[in-house]
Amino acid sequence: MIGSAKVRALLEDVLRRSKADQTEVLLMGQDAALTRFANSAIHQNVFERNAELRVRAVVGKRVGVAATNDLSEAGRQRAAERALAIAERQPENPDFPGLPQPAPIPSVHGYAASTAGATPEQRALSVKTICDLALEQQFNASGALRTDCSEIAVANSLGVFAYDTFTSTSLKTVMMGPDEGSGYAERASVDMEQLDVEALAREAVDKTLRSRGPGALPAGEYPVILEEYAVAELLDYLAYVGFGALSYQEGHGFMAGRLGQRLVSERISIWDDGLDPRGTPMGFDFEGVPKQRVDLIRAGVAAGVVYDTQTAAREGRQSTGHALPAPNSFGPFPMHLFMAPGEASREAMLRSIDRGLWVTRFHYVNVVHPRQAILTGMTRDGTFLIERGELARPVRNLRFTQNALEALASTQAVGDRLLVVGGFGGATVVPALQLGRFTFTGVSSQ
Amino acid sequence: MRDFTNRALDTAQALGAQYADVRVERKEVQSVTVKNGRVEAVSETDEQGFGVRVLVHGAWGFASSARPEAEEIDRIAALAVAIARASALTQREAVDLGAAVKSVGSYRTPVQRDPFAVSLDDKIALLLAADAGMRSVPGIGVAEGSMEAQRIARTFASSEGSYLEQTLVETGAGIEAMAVGENEAQKRSYPNSFGRHQGTAGYEFVEALDLVGNAPRIAEQAVQLLSAEQCPSGLATIILDATQVALQVHESCGHPIELDRVFGAEAAYAGTSFLTLDKLGAFQYGSEHVTIVADATVPRGLGTFGWDDEGVPAQRTVIVRNGRFENYLTSRETAARLGRFSNGTMRADGWNRIPLIRMTNINLEPGPWRFEDLVADTDQGLYLETNKSWSIDDQRLNFQFGTEIAWEITGGKLGKMYRNATYTGITPRFWNACDAVGREWQLWGVVNCGKGQPSQSAHVGHGAAPARFRNVQVGVL
């Protein structure tokens, strides 16, 4: 890590060098390590140190961006000059509202020394714990343990300066046993000490034992219990197609024209909150704007979308602090999603289903129809038929093709515990769900 | 540069590495996006760094840094060795790379017109002209165009004596028109979806696309799709356009033939492969009309280069010959496990990533059919164009694709337009149902092929032509 004082000096140096009307400098630095395992042994083990400087130069309403990871004086000068030259050589963008003004940045605690100081040996020993438990059962363990330490800083010529350091760690494992059994477990946290490696391994072992010898089950509509992993996947994709202001304004996201309308069950509330310490907190976005909590779905009703400076200006409002790094044609994005927990235990949800499916996780989800929030994907690593309130038997993986809003509209119960799962860029914090209807359109087979 | 690479290799070996390689890269990217008549984003990115990969007692370690300084070389080489020693804590089998590889030389992408020498004004003007062409059609809500130029200068050196210098240049562009209606949004893209079509070539690649000439056509189709009928469901004969065939090859052939995936290296992420070792040389992957090659030598392909990132020369390998599965994509390590030599497919997404087995140009060889004859020979069916969605299971068997547009085929003629077309199947059954491949073959570029953790995005090529498949489940949406 470069450190706050040096980073501030670097950014202020670039601001001084820039001859643009307005200038923004974003620095994203990281020490990222990842230990990957397969066949119950480490097969890939990597470390990366990088820091990128991204200069956004504004001339009138013309904007140019130049990025470099050459932080030398020559590199900084070149980036400032290139950004200006790009801005000067293009037509004006009447939509551009200017860079954001400074605002107080809330303090968050997104750093843990245990993660920042994790050594290759520590990661390897955690992996060994998982592999040893898998090998006891003659299972095959694979997965990845990531420990990242990053620093993000934003400064602009209007007086914005924001800096913070962050850590994040995630641990995932897939176990495979005889007779096509497989299991999964995942945890994410700011603090590596919070990862209970053995509990995670035992969860995957248990699932692998239970899922041996999956049988065929015809495609069709079933009530389902979605574990937190599956719920997080659905939520991430909903965010991707609908919770940002751009898809709302352009009319192709599922939230467009529906604010204030009931979209899903009143049991469902979804929001984004970069300040909540239960996720991976971050006090500001990539424009240096303080992050705000934004209610997206409140008791089933479409409540809002997230904004950056440009999309906010179109509606005459303030950014909610959800900008991605410039240049960004995707628009603002919620990176810290939460779904409200309910009161149902997993056991109670299971007991209440006469015939249905238990889904551990989804695989390779993709958007079929963004306006209607129709998604497709596969189940994976533990899909079970529920009969008379019990897990009757494992079944082969199924393909779903489902309007995610209609699925959430059929919510019958919401789990009483929250799990932190790695999301698109941050973390997603969700409960398990019991849904009345979920449409499976195919079965995996040779 | 040799001083730099020698220092990294010497340090790693002095600390105990039995094998070491180092890649030093500089990557420049210029991208331009226009949207609704305005310049949405213009950026230039310049990135450099180096990565050291080592084997210590048969275990891998890799470390990388953006700071090309003497002390940092020593620190990173030592860290790579320390990481490899940590990897050995779980070791069950030592890595064997097979016979040593010593390659020396240089390679440069043939370019007629350097894309970085073309003025930004010209690029913006071209995209804005295409944008205007799309927005000239009433009903278009969002018109977007993008262009990208990329240049990578890469030096590779290994402790076995390889020393390679390569400069790879890519250029690409594309346009999209979206019509938005009540509870419906429809998009058409040209020449391909995923934002753009790209190749290892100069600006001549973009000039040949005729973005402006095609802009009104795709915009009109996007608007027409809003009121088109929903694609019917059922079993049907389908003809896929070449771009959709390219993605079908990508997902259902390109990925399952990666031998590291077969050995389980991706099990926790994208999954494994149904093409297990027992099927090698003994499995009817497709019909007799299906021949698929991996060819890193074909001009303008995104998977075209001089040597891979282990120093193995680019080559052409038959993967499926007349339907019979014959070969995997291999690395030195995985090929050695089969008693073979690598066929040169290890590629890294930058200085800060390890090489993985990646598709080069995975091409479906052309057949004898002209497209018009293929349609004329089809009594009832559907013609599906341009990918819109994709998903495939963790063994690469059960897939589902959606396309931007579909057309009814009746009595050997293209008929009415359908929207929201999807089709689904099981990989070997689908390819065995292929009864005709067209002759209008083209190399397509896919710029968003994901694999590995930390994630890597590869640029890969697919030669493809329109092809026909029988008894396919369509329209599950």
Q: In what helix (H) or strand (E) does residue B143 lie, and over which residues does it extend?
A: strand B140-158
Q: B22 and B11 share a domain?
A: yes
From B439's Cα to the closest Cα of chain A, the distance in A is 30
- Report whether A68 contacts A50 (CB < 8 A): no
Q: Which band of pLDDT confidence, cut at 50, 70 and 90, is reported for residue A425?
A: confident
| Of A276, A293, A117, A274, the residue nearest A191 (C-alpha) | A117
Q: Is A169 in the same domain as A298? A: no
* Surface of B (383-402) touching A: CB under 8 A: 388-395, 397-398, 400, 402
Provide the residue range defining the domain that includes A23.
Answer: 4-200
Question: What was the ipTM of the complex prediction?
Answer: 0.95
Statement to judge: residues A183 and A321 lie in one domain = no
Domain around B447: 230-474
Contact A8, A288 (CB under 8 A): no
Task: Match 């059994």 to its residue by tokens.
Answer: A181
Our measurement of the distance from residue A83's CA atom to the centroid of its chain's CA atoms, rounded to an integer in Å, reads 30
Give the CATH number for residue A116: 3.30.2290.10
Of B180, B393, B473, nearest to A378 by CB-CB distance is B393
B219 & B234 share domain: no
CA dist., res. B332 & res. B312, Å (int): 8
The residue of chain B with its CA nearest to that of A123 is B86
DSSP code per residue over A70-88:
--SHHHHHHHHHHHHHHHH
Question: Are B217 and B306 in a shared domain?
Answer: no
Question: What whole-number distance in Å separates Cα of residue A298 and Cα of residue A301?
Answer: 5
- pLDDT, tens digit, for every residue of B299-351? 999 999 999 999 999 999 999 999 999 999 999 999 999 999 999 999 999 99
Q: Do B92 and A329 touch (CB under 8 A)?
A: no
* Tokens, residue A338: 């939460």
A73 pLDDT above the threshold of 80: yes
Residues B290 and B388 both lie in one domain = yes
Each residue of B25-73: pLDDT tens digit?
999 999 999 999 999 999 999 999 999 999 999 999 999 999 988 899 9
Q: Is B353 within 8 Å of chain A by CB?
A: yes
Residues B236 and B201 in one domain: no
CATH of the domain at B79: 3.30.2290.10
The helix/strand/coil state of A378 is strand
Residues A19 and A115 in one domain: yes
Residue-wise pLDDT tens digits, B122-151: 999 999 999 999 999 999 999 999 999 999
**Helix (H, G, I), strand (E, B), or coil: what is residue B305?**
coil
Total domains present in chain B: 2
Within-domain flag for A209: no
pLDDT band at B477 (very low <50, low <70, confident <90, very high): low
Q: Is residue A205 part of a domain?
A: no
Q: What is the DSSP string of B377-396?
A: T-SEEEEEEEEEEEEE-TTS
Number of H helices, E strands in chain A: 10, 19
d(Cα B468, Cα A300) in Å, to the nearest integer?
A: 45
The answer to whether residues A279 and A369 belong to one domain is yes
Q: Within this chain, do residues B43 and B111 fall inside the same structural domain, yes or no?
A: yes
Per-residue pLDDT tens digits for A163-180? 999 999 999 999 999 999
Q: How far is A405 from chain B (nearest CA, A)?
A: 14
Residues A97, A178: one domain? yes
CA neighbor of A168 nearest in space, from A151, A143, A189, A185: A189
Q: Using the structure block, give the residue that is written with the tokens 């064997």.
A: B96
Provide φ and ψ at B366, rounded to 5°. -70, 155
Task: Out of A48, A365, A441, name the one closest to residue B352 (CB).
Answer: A48
Q: Are the beta carbons of A444 and B395 separated by less than 8 Å?
A: yes
| Whether residue B203 sits in one domain with residue B88 | yes
Alpha-helix residue ranges (DSSP H) falling in B255-379: 259-262, 332-337, 371-376
Residue A8 resides in a domain: yes
Q: Which residues have CB under 8 Å from A230's CB, separation 6+? A: A359, A360, A361, A362, A379
From the CA of A52, how many Å to the nearest CA of chain B? Answer: 8
Backbone angles phi, psi at B142, to 5 degrees: -135, 125
Look at residues B227, B244, B261 and tell me which one is the last residue of a structural domain: B227
A contacts of B392 (beta carbons < 8 Å): 364, 378
Cross-chain Cβ contact B90/A374 below 8 Å? no
Q: Summarize pLDDT for A255-278 with one digit per residue, the tens.
A: 999 999 999 999 999 999 999 999
C-alpha A105/C-alpha A160 separation (Å) is 10
- A114: distance to nearest CA of chain B, Å? 18
- The beta-carbon neighbor of A38 closest among B178, B268, B422 is B268
Q: In the numeric block, which tokens belong to residue A192? A: 């590596």
Nearest to B398 among A44, A91, A399 (CB): A399
Query: Given CB atoms, is B178 within the 8 Å cutoff of chain A?
Result: yes
Residue linked to tokens 């027992």: B278
Q: Which residue of A has its CA nearest to B92?
A: A41
Q: For A91, which residue in chain B has the nearest alpha carbon?
A: B39
| Apex A263 CA angle, A257 and A433, nearest 5 | 145
Distance CA A83, CA A78 (A): 9
Q: For residue A75, is it within any domain? A: yes
Shared-domain flag, residues B202 and B83: yes
Q: Is B2 on the interface with A (CB under 8 A)?
A: no
Number of compact structural domains in chain A: 2
Q: pLDDT per residue over B10-28, tens digit each?
A: 999 999 999 999 999 999 9
Q: Facing residues of B43 across strands?
A: A65, B31
B260 & B218 share domain:
no
Token pair in block for residue A244: 């940002």
Q: Same domain for B215 and B279?
A: no
| A364: nearest CB among B35, B49, B391 | B391
At A426, is the pLDDT very low, low, confident or very high (cuts 50, 70, 90)? Answer: confident
Q: Are residues B203 and B237 in the same domain?
A: no
Together in a domain, A379 and A285? yes
**A45 with B389: Cβ contact below 8 A:** no
CB contact at 8 A, B174 and B215: no
